[in-house]
Chains A and B, each alone.
Chain A
Amino acid sequence: MLDYHLKLVGRSLRQRPGHALLVVAGIALGVAVATVFSAIRHSFAKDPIPSKSGVLYYVRMDSWDPAHPNFEPVPSQVTYMDAMGIMRSSIPVRQSVMTRAELNVIPEPGKAHPSREPTRLCFGDFFTMFDVPFEYGSGWDRKADEARDPVVVLSKDLNDRVFGGGNSVGKVLRIEDRDFRVVGVLARWSPSVLFYDLVSRRAPGTPEALFIPFNLVGPMQIQSSGSQANWKPAAGPGYEAEYLQGEKTWLQMWVELPTAAKVAEYKDFVDAYTMSQKKVGRFQRPLDNRVTPLLEWMVDRGAVPPETTAMMIVAILFLSVCALNLMGLLMAKFLARAPQIGVRRALGARRWDIFVLHLLECEVVALAGGAVGFVAAWLALFGVNNYVKSMYSRSDVFQMDWTMLLFAVVASLAAGLMAGLYPAYRVCRLSPSTYLKLQ
């Protein structure tokens, strides 16, 4: 039966190809606009690391000034003292405290110019924790963390610039005043949202070019280039007093906790840690520590700009207008075919058959429109990406994926339904006698 219906639909569409084309173009336009805007929003809102997002947690502790309120309920970052304190825990499978800095890279003369590069200071666990893909080599191990080994992982891009690409594992690169041994080179890695650092940069950033052991911050006196907040003046002059011994919150803390039991256990550990600090006069505010799941942390930090949601609503309204337009066109077409339907009914077709036949025709054109619209949206995203290149210094922020394809299919089916339901109902209610008489 479906075969037969589809054959009829095909015939109907071929009868008036101009009309069919107009209808398909209308739906395509609507689906294209809706898909582009949804894809933009989706890039911010989607799970950036589906394989791990369930086990990654961001840690915060309320070490703030007892006398003055903070602008956030809990400081978004932790102090060096507290980071070191909770890093001692063996509850998390993996954990890393981290910060962002700008460091000078001095390649061999003649190979490349010296440059300042965004750097992430982290623990070796970082790479496995966040599923970072490697082209050559790997991250460093915990022994390197403890020994403060000068080892470095390079982004693919920086490896291309300073070593001309290729496997540079084992080579030496001068960073600031030290020689670092290259242990790994990343493969192309550009998560649409920089999910591991939602504090120092706005959402769609670029991963750092260099990754070095966090424990080098002290010896190299590295200052963070990210956001930092301080409520208590440093106890003395110099780097140590300000960064390592003070109440300055400037570090991000991530842990990997595989089960709910571990999460509870870890929360208790952090609370116990702050209770012990209360005894020495710190943490004078009421106990308020947070161990937040990654996806919840993204919502807290407003990873999805509200404008993109507003734009998506506008786009869906746009698609509705296209569907309404289509409804008018289809109604005209179907009603013009009334005599033919009359014959069909007289020959024994049930109302239901007529209804299904016409609704099917609507969905066929809607799907065709959806397919064209999806391709158009995909092309349009190239344009948008090119446009945002100046802002985020990358041209792959917004991308299509299977979810967006599914969205386009559902959106076009829904538009087809919205447009076709009433016209199909109208024609199946027509009384055959009226039209048979007229012939």
Chain B
Amino acid sequence: MEELGPIFRAMLRNKVKFGLIVVEIALTLAVVANCAAMILKARREISQPSGFDDENLLIVTARPLDSAMRKDESLADMLRRDREAVRATPGVHAMLETFFTPWGPNLTTTGVRPAESTMEQLTVQSYPTGEGLTETLGINLVEGREFSREDVDRDTQRAKVFNATQHEHDARGKPLTSFEQDVVISQAFAKHAFGDGPYVGRWLDDEAGTLFHVVGVVDRFYKPGLASDARSNEHVMFYADRDESYGRGFRALVRTEPGQAVLVARDLEERLARPGEPRQIKVERIPEVRTTHFGPQRLVTTLMGVVIALLVLVTALGIAGLTTFSVTERTRQIGTRRALGATTGDILRYFLAENWLLTTLGLVLGFGLAMGLNVIVVSVFAGAKLNVPLLVLSMILLWSVGLGSAIAPALRGARISPAVATRNI
């Protein structure tokens, strides 16, 4: 490549023309690499697993719309019939009555700490739940037991009695009477709260004076995309209780036999819609909930993808345009060189070398520019951090695009016949 020297010196005499393309390539690299980082960040969020059998999970909601139906007696009867209707539906593998939704918005947090300790309050997601916890979510019990229907009915009754009585409070508003509740917690939270196990039989309490008795530990629970502190997404506490507050009615997670979610969903809607009962019946599939949940990320991904594609196209056109211009401008020189014995290969190599030099200069400049832009994007807009492999990948992409777009015009230049040298223009 002994031509590089002369090529470079020739370029220096045409600083603006070539400088333009160098700056353009640098800018393109900066934008492409930063957009790619944003896309990757969004994609990582979209594709993180919940750890549950998302594909076969359904959320079933049946809300009474008539206030008469929300009276205790009729509500209990309605819930029993709904439970039985779901169980009797073919293709249903397991069911868990809870207000927890993988990927969904509803999050209830409680501040607790190990009883009799001076620890800071720990924040934990807490959900009222029934039987079928491990089977429905596809997780395992590592210690103790999970809840049965009897636990739920008994605890619901006890909570009702407790809430219905007027309690004495101390000066800080803490009830003097306390309430005990059995809970199943996640292993991650157990470790966080108590350190080493075994955990069954230990106690937690909250500000209001409720005592939580650990009766079971599940191996893993993960509700992704909620907290900025990823660890707390695994901290959960289930208690046995029917949350019968205002109009919520029946709500359950249903796990179907593999691949039957769509069929079962349709079937369930029909079975739950009972004549004479004005209710809102909704059956959602988790993959759909997930798609909605990640809407903004999907939008960013698509728009950024379009920008990258267009930008690369524009830059490729720019490089092709410049090379075409160079070739036209130097038609006589090329003719002369050809007449003096240069082969088509020599001419082709000249233009490609020139292009290679330009692209490389642009990419070196762009490396710094991309890093600089990323500092702004990260600090000001909490954007995605750029890493070197991604930047190198973007450089390889632009490098091949640069070379690719120069080939056609360079070939045209190489085909210029030596006769041009002697022709008058």
Chain A residues in contact with chain B, CB under 8 A? 26, 29-30, 33, 36-37, 102, 104, 106, 113-116, 176-177, 221, 223, 232-233, 235-237, 305-307, 309-311, 313-315, 317-318, 320-322, 324-325, 327-329, 331-332, 384, 387-388, 390-391, 422, 426
Contacts and interface: CB of A to CB of B under 8 A. Distances in A.
Nearest to A222: B246
A307 B300 contact: yes
Contacts of A384: 299, 303
A325 B307 contact: no
Contacts of A331: 16-17, 20
Interface in B265-294: 278, 280, 291-292
Interface in B290-341: 291-292, 295-296, 299-300, 302-304, 307, 310-311, 314-315, 317-318, 321-322, 325
A114 B247 CA distance: 14
B158 interface: no
Interface-central residue, A113, A223, A321, A422, by most chain B CB under 10 Å: A321
6 contacts: A232-B173, A237-B165, A328-B17, A328-B321, A387-B299, A390-B292
Contacts of A327: 20
Interface of B: 16-17, 20-21, 23-24, 27-28, 30-31, 34-35, 38, 63, 65-67, 163-167, 169, 173-175, 207-208, 245-247, 278, 280, 291-292, 295-296, 299-300, 302-304, 307, 310-311, 314-315, 317-318, 321-322, 325, 373, 376-377, 380-383
Given A106-B66, A306-B380, A328-B322, A116 B24 contact: no
Contact of A104 (B28, B35, B247): B247
B321 A237 contact: no
Nearest to A307: B300
Given A232-B173, A233-B175, A314-B31, A325 B314 contact: yes
A240 B288 CA distance: 38
A318 B34 CA distance: 12
Which 9 A-B pairs rank lowest in CB-CB distance, beginning with the nearest? A391-B295, A306-B381, A325-B318, A114-B65, A310-B381, A233-B208, A177-B67, A104-B65, A324-B24
B37 to A, nearest CB: 11
A287 B299 CA distance: 43
A318 B17 contact: no
Contacts of A26: 314, 317
Contacts, number: 138
Given A321-B311, A332-B325, A235 B169 contact: yes
Contacts of A116: 63, 65, 247, 280
B163 A317 contact: no
A388 B295 contact: yes
B35 A321 contact: no
Contacts of B373: 317
A4 to B, nearest CB: 29
Interface of A is mostly: helix
B307 A321 contact: no
B280 A325 contact: no
Contacts of B31: 314, 317-318, 321
Nearest to A105: B65
Contacts of A235: 169, 173
A223 B246 contact: yes
A178 B217 CA distance: 46
B202 to A, nearest CB: 23
B303 A37 contact: yes
B34 A314 contact: yes
A327 B314 CA distance: 13
A230 to B, nearest CB: 10
A220 B311 CA distance: 58
A318 B165 contact: no
Given A104-B63, A321-B315, A329-B321, 4 more contacts: A37-B303, A235-B169, A307-B296, A328-B325
Contact of B383 (A237, A306, A426): A306
A232 B302 CA distance: 46
A311 B304 contact: yes
A328 B317 CA distance: 11
Contacts of A311: 300, 303-304
A29 B310 contact: yes
A242 B235 CA distance: 27
Contacts of B175: 233
A315 B169 contact: no
Contacts of A37: 303
Nearest to B306: A33
Contacts of A102: 247
